[in-house]
Structure 1
Amino acid sequence: MNPESAQSDPYNGLTTAEATLPSSAYWETAEFERDMEAIWYRNWVMVCREADLAQPLAYRVFTLGSQQVLVLHDDRGELRAFHNTCRHRGSQLCRETEGRLKARLLTCPYHAWSYSLRGDLVRVPSKSLPAGFDKADYPLYSVALSVWRGFVFINLADDPVGTPATTFDRDSADLSNWPLENLVTGHVLTKVMDCNWKIFWENFNECLHCPGVHKHLSALVPIYGRGLMARHDDPEWALHADNDEPQFSGGLRQGAETWSEDGTALAHRFTGLSDQERAAGQNYAMNLPSMFIVGHVDYVRTVRLVPLGPERTELTSEWLFLPEALAEATKDIDNIVAFGRTVLEEDAAICEVNQRGLRARPHRAGVLMPEEYDLHRFHDWVRDAHRRAAT
């Protein structure tokens, strides 16, 4: 390939050496707090599936950094979110992490101020009220809530920007052909990783680690075995531009249909997918900072992150299936779940290895290789969030 034509080729890779974020961004307490204020408290964050709150009066308490948010299914069938805080003296309202309310009121366990499920203060048990006191002035602190295709998101910002639907990554797959709203949970994996939340996203955004870390995944997705995510990650992609073998074009190995131990898909598959979506084998949609979704021909997998501290992150993954598939195919479900769990366990382990090396005193920052172009984009996203928060 001659140098002149290379300049016009749609090569994905970085062409100059770019620095990573400072190493302190992954372990320093002050940097973690900056992330929470600039990113996690200002963006849409996925908290659960709508099905998790299907019953009237069902609730969940979601902890994000120093904030506790109460998400509930009210007595009129609506989902609502509030800070888990009484307006009297700031007591916690709900002490359990999830459950069903015993009445159509939220009553503070400390001094028994009571609120409707729409957040209005309706009862104060004091023998008398101060002059000028108006219950209408003391509703619960509301939190923005939005449901996107069966997923519940909250946003702690005073004036949230966009919606979950508009804040997916620009390169995300269009998952409109998957019946996300109607799927049911077949398996849940929850794991606490000893790493900063950004470490996980960096690992997600490159496949240089795949040949050494993900042996089985690299066999299933041959282009990953080359340390690449897509055809145009290869600086010499044009040499194989007409070769549709999966090691060059992406997609699953010949004969494989889905992510599972043997590549075999369930009998119950999604009927509305395009030929391109079926051929891809995996279709990713990412909504920073909290989640991504992968659509396969027979199931959907979600991964949700919650930062617990500078060097601790909770990961929750759910495998979602058609109801009829979950009812009939226990062994086949196990075949799928086992593969995905292995990949996530490998990712978690190597993210922890990455984290443990970052405190070396001379290590101020790393450097990105050409294949890590999406890391550079992620780092710019983080930097931009901090700049916006500072203005």
Structure 2
Amino acid sequence: MTLHPPSKPAWNGLTETRQTLPSDAYLSDEAYRRDLDAIWYRHWIHACRASDLAEPRAFRLTRIGDQEILLLRHEDGSLCAFHNSCRHRGAALKSEECGRLAGRLIVCPYHAWSYSLDGALVRTSSKVLPDGFDKAAHGLHPVAVAEWRGFVFVNLSAAPGAAVDGFDSDPAMLANWPLERLERGPVYRKEIACNWKVFWDNYNECLHCPGVHPELSALVPIYGRGLMERRDDPAWQAHADDEAPQFSGRLRSGAETWSGDGSAKGRAFAGLTDENRQAGQSYVTHLPSFFVVGHVDYVRSVSLRPLGPARTELTAEWYFTQETRPETAEALDNVVAFGSLVLDQDAAICEINQRGLSALPHRHGTLMPEEYEIARFHAWVLSRTG
């Protein structure tokens, strides 16, 4: 997460001792319910790619906590979304993960109540309507939906604000990547035995990188120093103009991208600047559910879904354009296997973190100076959950 103030401090690190969130925030059913109600049901949540709903009348289900959302591409090309619940007696309207409506109606499989594509009730299966029944008052429950550069987000609260407001770093960082034109490649999906906040805690620091990610630390030498960026080092000013990878955050000498051997397996995106290429990885984070990373020859996204107090589903997807997609299966695997290795390592250490939180005497942890982004994340959580 990159919530730096407009004027960067001389050093990013925390200057005083801070506690983590209490252990109960990661363990209890009550805290999990509070997270759902205050965060996941009130913020914009990544749902899918717009290309997953390419055709008119294409639909797709997405799940957030115990809520099922039906996403639908209207015949006029717009996107709409509804709770997957019939207004008659609450039956699920769709059980398939995705598909395409046969006609211009959404028909409940239980009693055949039928709705137009904009959610209005068209007809019931009853022979006569009771006195006082108003069709207009029995349309599907709508859900706010928005697209950002080919990615689709939903918001269960319909609170004011746009999906783009949820970014914690400037989404313009990825302005030179053709996100709208990307085509999905391999998909990685894994259920992790940890609370969703444990994953973000791990994401927001690199003290663990030397021990947990030896391969990644070799590719990004500053990670091997337990740092995320130049100003994480309290002595950074001594190397302020040194562009060596261990100080600048760039990839190791000779490497081009995140892959098994560090070499690009497809052509680089045409619109990237020298700065984009030299960075090696450009992150944009959208709490609580999503981050996307631009590499020189592909884009990678990771999304989360909370499944319980100590269960989280993690989904990673690799994207290419026709021009940048690796030409051989071996080259593609070189890219995907490296990213999957890093995620497997993160998943394993997150599960270890979760297990230890259950120790009876453990009430909270202590943040070290390099974990300033965790402090900001915890402040974000507390500002919403109290």
* Interval of TM-score (by shorter of Structure 1 and Structure 2): over 0.9
1:340 partner letter: G
Residue 280 of structure 1 aligns with which residue? 279
Residue 336 of structure 1 aligns with which residue? 335
Q: Considering only aligned residues, what root-mean-square deviation do their CA atoms show, in Å?
A: 1.4
Distance 1:28 1:37, change over 3 A: same
Residue 94 of structure 1 aligns with which residue? 94
User: Residues of 2 paired with 1:238 and 1:77: CA distance?
Assistant: 52
Query: Is the counterpart of residue 164 in structure 1 residue 163 in structure 2?
Result: yes
1:72 partner letter: L
Identity %: 59
Displacement after TM superposition at 1:281 (Å): 0.5
User: Residues of 2 paired with 1:21 and 1:350: CA distance?
Assistant: 18
Displacement after TM superposition at 1:124 (Å): 1.1
- SS of the residue 2:174 aligns to: coil
1:379 partner letter: H
Displacement after TM superposition at 1:267 (Å): 3.8
- SS of the residue 1:376 aligns to: helix
1:308-347 alignment, distance < 5 Å = 308-326=307-325, 328-347=327-346
Residue 292 of structure 1 aligns with which residue? 291
Residue 3 of structure 2 aligns with which residue? none
The CA deviation string for residues 126-151 of structure 1, in whole angstroms up to 9 with x for no partner, is 11111232211111000000000000
The CA deviation string for residues 88-130 of structure 1, in whole angstroms up to 9 with x for no partner, is 1111111222222222211111111100111010011211111
User: Residues of 1 paired with 2:103 and 2:270: CA distance?
Assistant: 43
User: Residues of 1 paired with 2:170 and 2:128: CA distance?
Assistant: 59
1:237 partner letter: W
User: Residues of 1 paired with 2:114 and 2:9: CA distance?
Assistant: 64
* Stretch deviating more after TM superposition (58-67 or 169-178): 169-178
1:114-153 alignment, distance < 5 Å = 114-153=114-153
The CA deviation string for residues 195-233 of structure 1, in whole angstroms up to 9 with x for no partner, is 000000111110000000000000000000000001110
User: Residues of 1 paired with 2:67 and 2:16: CA distance?
Assistant: 40
1:54 partner letter: A
TM-score, with normalisation over the residues of structure 1?
0.94
- SS of the residue 2:297 aligns to: coil
Displacement after TM superposition at 1:323 (Å): 1.6
Please say if residues 266 and 325 of structure 2, whose CA atoms lie closer than 8 Å, have aligned partners that are also in contact: no
Residue 206 of structure 2 aligns with which residue? 207
Displacement after TM superposition at 1:163 (Å): 1.4
Distance 1:9 1:26, change over 3 A: closer
Query: Is the counterpart of residue 40 in structure 1 residue 40 in structure 2?
Result: yes
The CA deviation string for residues 166-217 of structure 1, in whole angstroms up to 9 with x for no partner, is 2210366611110001010111001100100000011111000000000000
2:383 partner letter: D
User: Residues of 1 paired with 2:170 and 2:369: CA distance?
Assistant: 18
Please say if residues 47 and 154 of structure 1, whose CA atoms lie closer than 8 Å, have aligned partners that are also in contact: yes
Residue 382 of structure 1 aligns with which residue? 381
Unaligned residue ranges in structure 1 (runs of 5+) = 1-7
User: Residues of 1 paired with 2:140 and 2:170: CA distance?
Assistant: 38
- SS of the residue 1:323 aligns to: coil
Unaligned residue ranges in structure 2 (runs of 5+) = 1-7
Please say if residues 43 and 161 of structure 1, whose CA atoms lie closer than 8 Å, have aligned partners that are also in contact: no
1:368 partner letter: L
User: Residues of 1 paired with 2:183 and 2:106: CA distance?
Assistant: 29
Please say if residues 266 and 323 of structure 2, whose CA atoms lie closer than 8 Å, have aligned partners that are also in contact: no
The CA deviation string for residues 23-67 of structure 1, in whole angstroms up to 9 with x for no partner, is 011010000000001100010000100111112222111111121
1:100 partner letter: R
User: Residues of 2 paired with 1:102 and 1:135: CA distance?
Assistant: 23
Residue 18 of structure 1 aligns with which residue? 18
Residue 104 of structure 1 aligns with which residue? 104
1:33-72 alignment, distance < 5 Å = 33-72=33-72
User: Residues of 1 paired with 2:212 and 2:253: CA distance?
Assistant: 22
Please say if residues 173 and 284 of structure 1, whose CA atoms lie closer than 8 Å, have aligned partners that are also in contact: no
User: Residues of 2 paired with 1:91 and 1:256: CA distance?
Assistant: 54
Please say if residues 268 and 322 of structure 1, whose CA atoms lie closer than 8 Å, have aligned partners that are also in contact: no
User: Residues of 2 paired with 1:324 and 1:272: CA distance?
Assistant: 12
Please say if residues 210 and 218 of structure 1, whose CA atoms lie closer than 8 Å, have aligned partners that are also in contact: yes
User: Residues of 2 paired with 1:164 and 1:340: CA distance?
Assistant: 27
User: Residues of 1 paired with 2:251 and 2:238: CA distance?
Assistant: 21
Displacement after TM superposition at 1:327 (Å): 6.9
Please say if residues 298 and 324 of structure 2, whose CA atoms lie closer than 8 Å, have aligned partners that are also in contact: no
Query: Is the counterpart of residue 79 in structure 1 residue 79 in structure 2?
Result: yes
Residue 4 of structure 1 aligns with which residue? none
Please say if residues 267 and 325 of structure 2, whose CA atoms lie closer than 8 Å, have aligned partners that are also in contact: no
2:276 partner letter: E
User: Residues of 2 paired with 1:60 and 1:142: CA distance?
Assistant: 15
Structure 1: 4+ residue segments shifted above 4 A: none
Displacement after TM superposition at 1:241 (Å): 1.8
2:251 partner letter: L
Distance 1:15 1:345, change over 3 A: same
Please say if residues 266 and 327 of structure 2, whose CA atoms lie closer than 8 Å, have aligned partners that are also in contact: no
The CA deviation string for residues 215-270 of structure 1, in whole angstroms up to 9 with x for no partner, is 00000000000000011101111222232111011110000000000111134211
Displacement after TM superposition at 1:330 (Å): 2.7
Displacement after TM superposition at 1:273 (Å): 1.2
Aligned residues: 379
TM-score, with normalisation over the residues of structure 2?
0.95
User: Residues of 1 paired with 2:178 and 2:333: CA distance?
Assistant: 22
User: Residues of 1 paired with 2:141 and 2:10: CA distance?
Assistant: 49
Residue 28 of structure 2 aligns with which residue? 28
* Stretch deviating more after TM superposition (344-353 or 325-334): 325-334
Please say if residues 196 and 313 of structure 1, whose CA atoms lie closer than 8 Å, have aligned partners that are also in contact: yes
